[in-house]
Amino acid sequence: MFSIERSGYYAWLKRKPSKRDQANDVLDKKIIQLFNDHKSRCGSPRIMKDLHESGELCSKNRVAKRMKSLNLYAKPKRKFKITTDSKHNLPVADNLLNRDFSASAPNQKYVGDITYIWTSEGWMYLAVVIDLYSRAVIGWSIQATMTRQLVCDALMMALWRRGFPRDVLFHSDRGSQYCSADYQKMLKQHGFICSMSRKGNCWDNSVAESFFNSLKTELIYTETYATREIAKQSIFNYIETYYNRVRRHSYIGFISPVKFEAQYKLVR
């Protein structure tokens, strides 16, 4: 019916997959495993780095092609939304950071910011402190209300974690929480230098905004939280067990913040 010779059909039955097909089959299984381990959060550059670390040498283009054939795509990012409450009469600091997000060692420059998360019990708010050297989240706090205590608790965690360093440049937006007397008092007590973004300019604090974008794309938008406590535990796991220790950051050479700081300690 199909004009196929009997001999050709039996030859096809005996034909084995090519070496390339066999190699792709092995690679595909590894890619699927890594993609699932990262919960669909990573694209081909980070998957390639994981493969290289495991001893599988392959190019980024090949990994990208295999992921496309497997219909594996990292979760797409969304545009972030400005939530800063800068309509107040509290004193503000100059923009000393001036978008220089580089640092040659830990504890030179920190940035902080606040974002919101929806749960079935209502809104909750997350404040973070990030070390610009490694992009590690070194302090964070979650509360049901967006008060000055929220940012004070996040800063206190960072201070304890880093051994109370001094002369650190701390950059934030002009939100009332960061301009409050209590927060500014904490900065002065520990010898921090205060820097603030220009009014209405989210790019002046883009590292913190980028972290929130990753958090929401890779976690928050994929979950439905019944309670604030469940959301808090979920965010804790993302920050402490995944983002800081596992997730590869492009700025620091596609390794995790913890590994990057470990390299600094070895050099020292």
The band of 112, judged by pLDDT with boundaries at 50, 70 and 90, is very high
The band of 13, judged by pLDDT with boundaries at 50, 70 and 90, is confident
Give the predicted TM-score (pTM) of the model. Answer: 0.77
pLDDT at 81 over 80: no
Q: Report pLDDT for 88.
A: 54
pLDDT at 86 over 60: no
Measure the CA dihedral 251/127/78/226, to 10°: 130
pLDDT at 40 over 60: yes
DSSP state of 238: I
Max Cα distance, the chain (Å): 88
The band of 10, judged by pLDDT with boundaries at 50, 70 and 90, is confident
Q: Report pLDDT for 268.
A: 65
Cα–chain center distance at 213: 8
